[in-house]
Amino acid sequence: MTEEFKIALIQTTLEWENPEGNRKHFQKKIESIQEPVDLIILPEMFTTGFTMNAAPFAESMNGETIAWMKKMAQLKNAAITGSIIIEENHNFYNRLFFITSEGKMQTYDKRHLFTLANEQDTYTAGSEKLIIEYKGWRLCPMICYDLRFPVWARNVEEYDAVFFVANWPQARIKAWDVLLQARAIENMAYCIGVNRIGTDGKGFEYVGHSVVYDGLGESLNEKEFKKDDVILVSLTKGHLETIRKKLRFLEDRDFFLWP
């Protein structure tokens, strides 16, 4: 178990529907990280942007991007995570991968599909929540629109941190800010949001606001809020142990059953 858990949030632009170009861009960002980190977090659909044109860009479970993620994880001796388009059994998924430096891989399929963009017409929704055990930390991965559904993110598994990878547009950025902070406070856990910046192929603008909140909803970073940057933040077990012992709010939580 590690008392300190260091994460790198990569907040940057995405080239529209250009997997090779995006992999090269992210590789430069990853190679620029000079100090040891435990986890590198990339945005949602980091190889393409949030496209509904899935067929030309979907990869298999043995595709180029997964091989690249394994290479990057090994290079930095750190886990790496982010979502891409996967085709499996004739269905498309917005699938998050969590890959360690040893090549161990876990996946999470986006549960809540963004109906405002008709994501449900292209992609198949996931049905299983994932809790990742890594270096003594319990991590709960989520994808973008999942942020609006607190029951799905409810901390009934005693996780230490929940993280959201996203393509969340400027038009609704206030909701992103408020809901990330709320997820931290209500779950007494670190809450991490990694969002892109720039303009996508549909003309939507993104302003980042990637952030890490502690278990009381206090921001651990602000100066890199809108910049193209690699944001380094350290989490500590002691913080969670202290607040959960003093403020026993989680003991009063509800347990909801999914159908």
Catalytic residues: 44, 110, 144
Q: Following DSSP, what letter does each residue of 194-221 receive, concatenated?
A: EE-EEE-TTS-EEE---EEE-TTS-BS-
Q: Are 130 and 106 in contact (CB under 8 A)?
A: yes
Measured CA to CA, the distance from residue 94 to residue 257 in angstroms comes to 24
d(CA 223, CA 231): 9
Other CB atoms within 10 Å distance of the CB of residue 173: 17
> What is the C-alpha separation between 162 and 159, in angstroms, rounded?
7
User: Are the C-beta atoms of residues 65 and 76 closer than 8 Å to each other?
Assistant: no
**Residue type present at position 113:** L
The single-letter DSSP state of residue 148 is G
The Cα diameter of the chain in Å comes to: 52
